[in-house]
Amino acid sequence: MKLSKRLLTVASFVPDNSFVCDIGTDHAGLAIYLQENLKNVKVIATDINDNPLNIAKKNIQKVGLQKEIKVLKQDGIKNLDKKVDTIIIAGMGGILISEILNSPKDLENVKNIIVAPNNEFPLVRKMLFKLNYTIERERIVIDNQKSYLVIKAIKGKSSKIDYLFGTLKANTLETIYYYNNLMNTNRQVLKKMPKKYFLKRLKLKHENKKIKKFLLSKEKNVK
């Protein structure tokens, strides 16, 4: 199975020697890739719905990894195997990802959280901060003209966090593209928003000011 650019980026954030749970695995493409490409990895693939679970099982059987990859019906991080030290939640909206994560007692043994929301990036960063995880790595991925953020966070409180930019720098074309788009979207929203929504308008204007400054800081050697 060919993995999308988005899922390949997620996979590149997963450390060797980890015990991984791919939550909301769907087709299990990522779980299979991890099992086949990482060193000394243990992979569990979970989903809340029967249809994706059946597809996952079929795909895993096709490549003969049914002994290696355990497939389970589970809701988010509830009843997570105690040995799991790395969880992945990819391809869902930021609100759903934040809701799934919002259960600190279920994260006791989880050292690494790798998430790839489709939207609501600041909300996801806020949740990771609230749960006492520190963002170690982030990357914006543009796949099929859609923007995704891939985040790796590790257990341990950070003293501060910027919800709008996280640890990103304006030094990749994809990051610049994403924030330019966000600034343009904000401008369109402002054009249509009645003047009476003073505070909302102020917030968007302030956000655009920050984005403009961020984009101006871009390094000369854009990757």
Ligand X SMILES: C[S@@+](CC[C@H](N)C(=O)[O-])C[C@H]1O[C@@H](n2cnc3c(N)ncnc32)[C@H](O)[C@@H]1O
Considering the complex, what minimum distance in angstroms separates the CB of residue 57 from ligand X?
A: 13
Query: Which window, 20-28, 57-65, 189-197, 213-221, contacts ligand X (CB under 6 A)?
Result: 20-28
Q: Which residue reads 């749960």 in tokens? A: 131
Query: Which window, 44-52, 103-111, 171-179, 191-199, contacts ligand X (CB under 6 A)?
Result: 44-52
- Contact, 160 vs 134, CB < 8 A? no
What is the per-residue DSSP string for 21-75? EEET-TT-HHHHHHHHHSTT-EEEEEESSHHHHHHHHHHHHHTT-TTTSEEEE--
Q: The dihedral of CA 193, 195, 198, 203: what is its sign?
A: positive
Considering the complex, what minimum distance in angstroms separates the CB of residue 223 from ligand X?
A: 24
For position 65 contacting ligand X by CB under 6 A, the verdict is no
Query: Which window, 34-42, 47-55, 122-130, 210-218, contacts ligand X (CB under 6 A)?
Result: 47-55
User: Contacting ligand X (CB under 6 A), which of 48, 154, 164, 182?
Assistant: 48
Site for ligand X in 151-190 (CB under 6 A): none
Query: Which window, 21-29, 34-42, 164-172, 198-206, contacts ligand X (CB under 6 A)?
Result: 21-29
State the binding string over 79-118 for ligand X (x if CB under 6 A, else -).
Answer: -----------xxx-------x------------------
Considering the complex, what minimum distance in angstroms separates the CB of residue 91 from ligand X?
A: 2
d(CA 89, CA 101): 9
| Helix intervals (H) in the chain | 5-12, 29-37, 50-62, 94-101, 121-130, 173-192, 198-216
CB atoms within 10 A of CB 94: 20
Half-sphere CA count of 142, side-chain side, radius 13 A: 10
Residues binding ligand X: number (CB under 6 A):
16
Considering the complex, what minimum distance in angstroms separates the CB of residue 28 from ligand X?
A: 9
What is the greatest pairwise CA distance in the chain? 61
Cβ closest to ligand X, residue 99 vs residue 162 = 99
By the criterion CB under 6 A, which residues form the site for ligand X? 7, 23-26, 46-49, 52, 75-76, 90-92, 100
